[in-house]
Amino acid sequence: MEALEKDKAASDLRLYYAMLDAYGSGDETRSVDLLLRWPRARLENALAEVNRSNDPRAPWSPRIHGLAAMLHTDVALRLAPGAETKEAFWHIDLASRLLSPGTTQKAVDIRPLAERWYEAVARALRDRSRAYVAELLLRLGRTRLPDNPVVLRESGMLAELFATDYALIGSSIAYSTSHGGTVRLKEIISRRARNLDDAARWLRQAVGLDSGNELLAVHLGRVLTLRHDDDAAVVVLGAVSTTGKHAEAAYLASLFLGGLRERQGQLDAAIDAYRDALSHLPSAHAAYVGLSQVLQRVGQSDESRAVLLVPLTHKAGPTEDPLWWYHIDKPGVAERRLESLRAEVRQ
Amino acid sequence: MRATCLTALAAIVCLLPPQTFRSSAEGVRVDVLVLDGKNPVGGLTAADFELRDGGIVQTIDSISMEDVPLSLMLALDTSRSVEGAALGHLKDAATAVIRLLGPADRAALMTFSGAITLRTPWTSDRATLDAGVATAEASGSTSLYDAAYAALTLRDHQPGRQLVLIFSDGDDTASWLPGRNVIEIAKRNEPVVYAVELAPQPIVVSTSGPFGQRTETVTRPAPGYRLDFHSGIQDRVENAPNPILLRRFLNELADETGGKVVNAESSERLKETFLQVINEFRSRYLLIYTPRGVDSRGWHPIEVKLKNRRGQVTARRGYLR
C-alpha cells in the first residue's frame, strides 16, 4: 500500500514537472488550470518526492525554483480575488520558500529574483485589493530576506497605506439599518498609530539601505507628518524638495510640506511650499487646489480663483498628478512587472 | 518654469471679478426654501418671515422669487463608476437642466474624477453648455471634496442666485483637501448646494454569532468626512460623538448652505431628479437685509422662521464676513 502511494506521488511529481514545463514554455493558463484542480494533499505528496531518489530532476536548478515559484504565484493570484485567501496564501508561502536564499543547490544567488518577486507580488496583490494578503507576504519577506531594502520599502509603504486609505476598514465601523452606525474611535486611532510606527521603522531602515531613493524618502517624510513628528518630517521632505533631482518626488515632497504647514497654521509657509511644488511640476493638480484654498483663507480671493483655474482649464498642459499614483500603480504597471518576472524565469 | 507659471497666473487674475460673500453695503442675501410637506409654499411676503442675524431680529429689505436670474454650477462626478449607461443618463440629466434655463440664467459645467475639469465657463449660451456636456467621459477616482471646493470658489460674478448642483455616486477617494476645509469655505461663499447622489443599495449580510446565524440588511457608505485619513492635510481626529463623526460630507455641505441632498436611487432617475432640484430652487425666496445691531466681522448665525404660517424653512446656517 505504501509502495503504491509512493508510486502515485512519483507519478504526480512527473505530472507536476509537465505543468512546470508547460508554464516554462509560456502556457500559463493551462498549467495554472491544471494545478488548481489538484487537492492540496496530492500536491504536498508530489512535492515531498522532490530531490529524493525518484526525482528525475534532482537537484532542482535555480530555473526550476524560479518557474515553480511563479507558477504557484499565478495560482495564488488566480485564487486571491475571491474568498480563498488561506489557499492563496499557501501557494504564496510555497513560492516564497522556493525563492529563499540557500534553497538552491547551485551557487547561484537567488536573492535578486526574490527581491523583485516580493515587490511584484505585493504590488499585484494591492492592485487586486488584497492588501492584507500582501502584508502576509511581506511578513514572510522580512523573515526570509531580512534587511532587504526592497522588502522594507514595500512593507513601509503598505503600512502607510493601512494608516491612510485603509484606516477605517476592518470591523471598527458598522452601519446597519437596524442599529445605526457606531464608530470605535479609540480602536481606529490605536491601530493607525501601530501602522504608522511600523511604517516609520521600516521606511527608515529602507532609506538607510537605499539613501539615493528620493521617492522612498518622500514616503518616510509623509509618514513622519502623519505621526505629527513635524520637525523630522520637515528635514526629510525639505531635503527632497531642495535637491529636486527627481521632479515627481520633489513635487510630492513640497506638496506634503504645504499640507504640513497648513495644518500648523503657517499659511504663508504653506503658500511657499505649494508654489515650490508647482515649480517642480507645473502640470500637476493637487498643489493648485491646495494653493488656491490657502490663498482664499488669507483673503486673496482673486488669486485663489486664478490659481484654481490653471489645472481646471488645462492652462499648464494636460493635468496629471503623482499624488493619484502615490499609493497605487498606474493601470497595467503591476501586471507588466509580473510579466517581466515570468519572462525572466522562463529564460 | 516657476516664473512662467506665476506670470500666467497674474494674467488670469486680471480677467477675474472679485469674490466675496455678498454681505457688505448691498446687504446680506439669504436663499430660503419653504415647504409644506413636500410642496413649496408660494405667495409669501417679507412680513411672513422673521430673520435673526446673531440672534437679533432684522428688517428684510427685499424679497424676490422667480424674477432673479439663476447662476447654476453643475459639478458632475465622472469617475470610473459612472462608466457606461450611467454616464449617458447623467449627460441626459445635465442637458435637460440646460434646456430649463431661462434667457437671463447662466450656467457653468465642471466634471470631476481624480482631476477636475471646467468644461464650460459661465455662459448663458446653451449650445456651448451642451458642447461641454458632450465632451464628458468617465474614468479615474473621485475628488469630491476638491470639486466641491472648486464649484464654490468659481461662483458666477453676475448678481444672480447662486446654485451649485453636485452629482456624485460615491465617496471621496482622491482629494487633496479634507472635507472640513471645504465646509469652512462654504461658510464664506454664497452658493446654495444641492447634492444629488446615488446612495449605495442595501446588502443582505449573514453573520454567525453565539446565538446562531443572523441576517440583516446593511448599507455601507463611507464613514463621515471628519474621519478622513486620505487627504493631504490631516488634522488630529477630534474625539467627537458618533453622530458627528458619522456625518456625511454632502449632508453637512447642503445643511451649511441651506441646500439639500437628494438620492436619485438609480441613474435612470437622474434627469427627473435634476429637474426637481431646479424647479424647487426656483420656488425659493431670496431675502435681502442690511445687518443691524450685530458685529461687523466673524461668524453670523442666521435663523429664519415663518410668522403665523405653517411650513418648514430651510436656509443657510450663517455666514462669515
Can you tell me the ipTM of this complex? 0.88
Phi, psi of B76 (to 5 degrees): -115, 130
Task: Identify the segments of chain B with pLDDT beneath 50.
Answer: 1-21, 23-25, 206-214
The mean pLDDT of A248-253, rounded to a whole number, is 97
Looking at residue A181, what is its pLDDT? 63
Q: Which residues of B touch A237 (CB under 8 A)?
A: none
Name the residue among A178, A262, A296 with its Cβ closest to that of B233.
Answer: A262
The alpha carbon of residue A339 is apart from the nearest alpha carbon of chain B, in Å, by: 24
Q: How many residues does chain B have?
A: 321
The mean pLDDT of A38-64, rounded to a whole number, is 88
Q: Tell if the CB–CB gap between A313 and B118 is shorter than 8 Å.
A: yes
Instruction: Decide if B249 contacts B179 (C-beta within 8 A).
Output: yes
Q: Tell if the CB–CB gap between B5 and A324 is shorter than 8 Å.
A: no
Name the residue among B114, B115, B229 with its Cβ closest to that of A167.
Answer: B229
Q: Write out pLDDT tens, residues A298-319.
A: 999 999 999 999 999 987 777 7
Strands B192-197 and B161-168: parallel
Q: Tell if the CB–CB gap between A310 and B9 is shorter than 8 Å.
A: yes
Interface of A with B in 271-310 (CB under 8 A): 275, 278-279, 282, 285-287, 289-290, 292-293, 296, 301-310
DSSP B47: G
Instruction: Decide if B44 contacts B34 (C-beta within 8 A).
Output: yes
Instruction: Decide if A73 contacts A121 (C-beta within 8 A).
Output: yes
**Mean pLDDT, chain A, whole residue set:** 90
* Torsion angle (degrees, nearest 10) of CA B243, B245, B251, B256: 100
**Radius of gyration (Cα) for chain B, nearest Å?**
21
Give the Å distances, CA to CA, from B259 to A5, B126, B131, B169, B251: 74, 25, 28, 18, 9
Among A4-18, A64-78, B76-90, name the one with the lowest average pLDDT. Answer: A4-18
Q: Tell if the CB–CB gap between B236 and A307 is shorter than 8 Å.
A: no
Q: How confident is the model at residue A108 (pLDDT cuts 50, 70, 90)?
A: low
Higher-confidence residue: A192 or B22?
A: A192
Q: Which of B13, B182, B239, B247 to mutate to test the interface with A (most CBs of A within 10 A)?
A: B13
Q: Which of B12, B118, B175 to mutate to test the interface with A (most CBs of A within 10 A)?
A: B12
In the beta sheet, which residues pair with residue B31? B286
Q: Which residues of B touch A189 (CB under 8 A)?
A: 237
A vs B, Cβ pairs < 8 A, gives: 157
Most confident region among A56-60, A63-67, B22-26 by mean pLDDT: A63-67
pLDDT at A82 over 80: no
The alpha carbon of residue A63 is apart from the nearest alpha carbon of chain B, in Å, by: 39
Q: Which residues of B touch A286 (CB under 8 A)?
A: 146, 176, 232
Higher-confidence residue: B171 or A174?
A: B171
Looking at residue B13, what is its pLDDT? 33
Name the residue among A177, A293, A307 with its Cβ closest to that of B181.
Answer: A293
Looking at residue B26, what is its pLDDT? 60
Instruction: Decide if B273 contacts B264 (C-beta within 8 A).
Output: yes
Looking at residue A318, what is its pLDDT? 73
- Look at residues B60, B42, B21 and name the one whose alpha carbon lies nearest to residue B287: B60
Q: Which residues of A touch B19 (CB under 8 A)?
A: 301-302, 304-305
Strands B56-58 and B318-320: unpaired
Looking at residue B224, what is its pLDDT? 83
In A38-110, alpha helices (H):
40-48, 62-79, 85-98
Cell numbers representing residue B111 in the block: 466634471
In the beta sheet, which residues pair with residue B206? B215
Name the residue among B10, B227, B234 with its Cβ closest to that of A226.
Answer: B234
Q: Which of B2, B117, B233 to mutate to test the interface with A (most CBs of A within 10 A)?
A: B233
Cell numbers representing residue A323 in the block: 499624488
Q: Based on the number of CB atoms within 10 Å of its own CB, is B196 exposed (0-12), middle (13-18) or buried (19 or more)?
A: buried
Calculate what percentage of chain A has a pLDDT beyond 90.
71
